[in-house]
Amino acid sequence: MTAMEVGSAPPLTERPTWKALEEHYHKIRHLHLRQIFADDPQRGTRLTAEAAGLHLDYSKHRVTDETLELLLRLADDRGLAERIDAMFSGQKINVTEQRAVLHIALRAPVGERIVVDGADVVPAVHAVLDRMATFTDAVRGGRWKGHTGRPIRNIVNIGIGGSDLGPVMAYEALRHYSRRDMTFRFISNIDGTDFVETTRDLDPQETLFVVCSKTFTTLETLTNAHTARAWCLRALGDEEAVRRHFVAVSTNAEGVAKFGIDPANMFEFWDWVGGRYSMDSAIGLSTMLAVGPEHFRAMLAGFHAMDRHFRTTPLDRNLPVIMGLLAVWYTDFFGAETVAVLPYDQYLKRFPAYLQQLTMESNGKHVTLDGARVDYQTSPIVWGEPGTNGQHSFYQLIHQGTELIPCHFIAFCQSLNPLDGHHDLLMANVFAQTEALAFGKTAGEVESEGTPARLVPHRVFEGNRPTTTILADRLTPEILGSLVALYEHSVFTQGVIWDIDSFDQWGVELGKALAQRIGGELQGDGPPAGGHDSSTTALMRRYLQSRSGSAR
Ligand code: G6Q
């Protein structure tokens, strides 16, 4: 089924497959996980799946076999298998921008053929990877020298959104594998504090800036890059220094040259890579500089293993499909508004922030592919923090609040830092939390512990809180790749069900345009131009007064 055919078919909520799920939801919405587990002693092993080094336990979900069957029928009805093929074969499934969506080509092995507009893109992907590796080896080997002949010790990535969140997350996730005698930093915010605090203790002679911008027009990134240039030239005093201290990652060679970066020092990617899907393109240069080409390629192999699984495995055993369908189930039938992502690994501390963009920028959409207003909820809000820290703050609401919050627990059986006793205790918390969330504690159980009657209601846990557990042996570069690809494809699955374009981001574009206009007014001499509402005008005036020192 093509995108257009899906778009012109009956709207989602009028389809028999959707109606069947609605009816089924009303039948099982009060069914408790205590009952579901009691009815099927094998459930904990039956509702699991494995792929690309990841073990998915989805048994603690408020689903029966019938629910899963109905969700899979919905996926068939939406043409999911055909849409997966359409993505992998380079069709222009980003319909509003008329672009192919081929982050999967970034991790395709040599010899695979993926054709866009008549040309196989895989050789170009590998040519860039090879250039990145050569450059990385030169920097890490001390052969790439700064302007004064000193080796590079500090890498500063300048980028924002998709050109920042992936690199930051990947660097933190793979810090264990990174060069400890080098410093890796990230500047994204236009707030000058970000630049000043990030560069405060760095020596410009030993610092290399990697300016990452797909368009090379983004205000924050260009402003920070200009500031970095001035910072560098102030210390090194010679325009020539830019060649040794700046490289760019972009699709816009002209913009890069205009900025003054030698196009020979530019690493290319392509318009068929979305910003939030670009951490495995040249946008990952800082990651490669941190962990080396071999680990970077291992990460790509992990991505690819999950891609293969997603493309070839029947939908009922397909990890991203199962996760995507469960997200739809809670979002649209239970009315759950958020999903908590809870990595029990300190190295994944930026993973929830990365997933916020991946999920919410992709599926936070209000119209279908053909422009009709949806009458159902699209993307859930994603949030989270690493465990066990979150347990001492917001888990209270997940356990006993009035919101239903499906949670993803992500954990590794082997620690990369095995301190005596720590890891068993960390994992004990994973298992204890998912058990408590599912099964809760009844009033009878609370009473039998000798709790005074007036406290019983306060100490009851209703349970029936759904969780997904994702386990892997160790956090390796391969596993990070599989994990990210798992979420990428789960997001795609949800977008297919909702019939939306998961690959555009008009909301982001709006912000870029608005700030340009007001920025111009604030930097002009006179009072703000008219045309704003009274609140915005008053706020701008208040700001200008304070800035000129006349505010009381
Ligand atoms: C990602 C979005 C957005 C983008 C940034 C940076 O999918 O498009 O987050 O990555 O706005 O854009 P540039 O890379 O073009 O600077």
**pTM to 2 decimals?**
0.96
Q: How far apart are CA 463 and CA 460, in angstroms?
A: 9
Question: In a structure prediction context, what are the per-residue pLDDT tens digits for the chain, which is 552 residues long?
Answer: 444 444 457 899 999 999 999 999 999 999 999 999 999 999 999 999 999 999 999 999 999 999 999 999 999 999 999 999 999 999 999 999 999 999 999 999 999 999 999 999 999 999 999 999 999 999 999 999 999 999 999 999 999 999 999 999 999 999 999 999 999 999 999 999 999 999 999 999 999 999 999 999 999 999 999 999 999 999 999 999 999 999 999 999 999 999 999 889 999 999 999 999 999 999 999 999 999 999 999 999 999 999 999 999 999 999 999 999 999 999 999 999 999 999 999 999 999 999 999 999 999 999 999 999 999 999 999 999 999 999 999 999 999 999 999 999 999 999 999 999 999 999 999 999 999 999 999 999 999 999 999 999 999 999 999 999 999 999 999 999 999 999 999 999 999 999 999 999 998 888 777 777 888 889 887 777 778 899 999 999 999 999 988 544
Q: How far apart are CA 380 and CA 216, in angstroms?
A: 31
User: Of all atoms in ligand 1, which is nearest to the CA of residue 277?
Assistant: 7
The answer to whether the CB of 505 falls within 8 A of the CB of 96 is: no
Per DSSP, helices labelled H in 442-476 are 443-448, 456-459
CA angle 244, 220, 197 (to 5 degrees): 70
Per DSSP, helices labelled H in 49-121 are 65-77, 80-88
**Torsions phi, psi of 183, nearest 5?**
-110, 135
User: Of all atoms in ligand 1, which is nearest to the CA of residue 283?
Assistant: 14
User: Of all atoms in ligand 1, which is nearest to the CA of residue 215?
Assistant: 15
Is residue 445 part of the annotated active site? The answer reads no
Q: Which of 30, 392, 449, 458 is catalytic?
A: 392
Please state, in angstroms and as integers, the Cα–Cα distance from residue 535 to each residue in 192, 213, 435, 538, following that order. 26, 33, 50, 5
State if residue 491 touches ligand 1 by the CB under 6 angstroms criterion.
no
What single-letter DSSP state applies at residue 49?
E
Q: How far apart are CA 307 and CA 397, in angstroms?
A: 35
Cα 149 to ligand 1 centroid, rounded to whole Å: 34
- 285 alpha carbon, distance to own chain's centre: 18
- 406 alpha carbon, distance to own chain's centre: 18
Nearest to 406 by CA among 339, 345, 454: 339
DSSP strands (E only) in 7-63:
48-51, 54-57
Q: Report the SS3 class of residue 543.
A: helix
Q: Report the SS3 class of residue 487.
A: helix
User: Of all atoms in ligand 1, which is nearest to the CA of residue 274?
Assistant: 7
87 Rama sector, left if φ>0, alpha if ψ -120 to 50, beta otherwise: alpha
State if residue 47 touches ligand 1 by the CB under 6 angstroms criterion.
no
What single-letter DSSP state applies at residue 53?
T
Q: How far apart are CA 474 and CA 520, in angstroms?
A: 50
Q: How far apart are CA 371 and CA 8, in angstroms?
A: 11
Q: Report the SS3 class of residue 374.
A: coil
Cα 26 to ligand 1 centroid, rounded to whole Å: 41
Residues in the chain: 552
The answer to whether the CB of 251 falls within 8 A of the CB of 269 is: yes
Cα 275 to ligand 1 centroid, rounded to whole Å: 5
The answer to whether the CB of 191 falls within 8 A of the CB of 310 is: no
Tell me whether the omega of the peptide bond preceding residue 388 falls within 30 degrees of 0, making it cis. Answer: yes
State if residue 160 touches ligand 1 by the CB under 6 angstroms criterion.
yes
Q: How far apart are CA 78 and CA 426, in angstroms?
A: 40
State if residue 276 touches ligand 1 by the CB under 6 angstroms criterion.
yes
Protein residue with least CA distance to atom 2, ligand 1: 275
Q: How far apart are CA 310 and CA 12, in angstroms?
A: 24
Q: How far apart are CA 223 and CA 190, in angstroms?
A: 7
Cα 160 to ligand 1 centroid, rounded to whole Å: 6
H-run or E-run covering 120 = strand 119-120
The answer to whether the CB of 54 falls within 8 A of the CB of 470 is: yes
- 300, burial (CB in 10 Å: exposed 0-12, middle 13-18, buried 19+): buried
Tell me whether the omega of the peptide bond preceding residue 442 falls within 30 degrees of 0, making it cis. Answer: no
Protein residue with least CA distance to atom 9, ligand 1: 161
Q: Report the SS3 class of residue 183.
A: strand
User: Would you state the structure tokens that stand for residue 186, as one six-digit string?
Assistant: 């990230």
State if residue 172 touches ligand 1 by the CB under 6 angstroms criterion.
no
Is residue 512 part of the annotated active site? The answer reads yes
Protein residue with least CA distance to atom 5, ligand 1: 161
The answer to whether the CB of 91 falls within 8 A of the CB of 82 is: no
Please state, in angstroms and as integers, the Cα–Cα distance from residue 251 to each residue in 63, 219, 247, following that order. 45, 16, 13
Q: How far apart are CA 318 and CA 310, in angstroms?
A: 6
Cα 360 to ligand 1 centroid, rounded to whole Å: 14
State if residue 218 touches ligand 1 by the CB under 6 angstroms criterion.
yes
Amino acid 8: pLDDT: 57
Q: How far apart are CA 283 and CA 212, in angstroms?
A: 6
Task: Report pLDDT digits (tens) over 372-407.
Answer: 999 999 999 999 999 999 999 999 999 999 999 999
3-state percent helix, strand, coil for the chain, nearest multiple of 5: 55, 10, 35
State if residue 274 touches ligand 1 by the CB under 6 angstroms criterion.
yes
Is residue 245 part of the annotated active site? The answer reads no
Q: Which of 172, 220, 361, 478 is catalytic?
A: 361
H-run or E-run covering 351 = helix 351-356
Protein residue with least CA distance to atom 16, ligand 1: 213
User: Would you state the structure tokens that stand for residue 52, as one six-digit string?
Assistant: 């690309």
Q: How far apart are CA 546 and CA 375, in angstroms?
A: 45
User: Of all atoms in ligand 1, which is nearest to the CA of residue 221?
Assistant: 16
State if residue 163 touches ligand 1 by the CB under 6 angstroms criterion.
yes
State if residue 221 touches ligand 1 by the CB under 6 angstroms criterion.
yes
